[in-house]
Amino acid sequence: MPAGEGYNRDHPIINVSGPMAMDISKMDFPATMVFVGGFDLLQEWQKRYYEWLKKSGKEAYMVEYPNMCHGFYTFPELPESEQLMSDVKDFVHMVLKKTINMY
């Protein structure tokens, strides 16, 4: 089969949370943080991914940056980029704290 044949936007390798998604409800899956830029052309896909995680019973958090585009965090001069890094740091600390308290 030639490369790409048989694949479409809903193939699970392309759209992990789409209609052909794996059932992850019984899988050990890490807490996940999803970032969404308000001007990101992929924002609906990102929001569907977040909703799929939640429906699968997974710990998921979504943080929206209404005035940002896709990949905005690669521009360190943007205040929102710094805010994202701070949000990631807080998320990691929260997850680590929960993990440590489990033991």
* Position 8 confidence tier, pLDDT thresholds 50, 70, 90: confident
Question: 23-52 burial, b if ≥16 CB within 10 A, otherwise e?
Answer: ebeeeeeeebbebbbeebeebeebeebbeb
Domain spans, the chain: 32-102
How large a percentage of the chain has pLDDT more than 70? 95
Query: What's 84's DSSP letter?
Result: H
Report the chain's C-alpha Rg in angstroms: 16
- The tokens 């993990």 sit on which residue? 99
Cα dist from 56 to 23, 25, 49, 84, whole Å: 7, 5, 10, 25
User: Model confidence over 68-99: pLDDT tens digits?
Assistant: 999 999 999 999 999 999 999 999 999 999 88
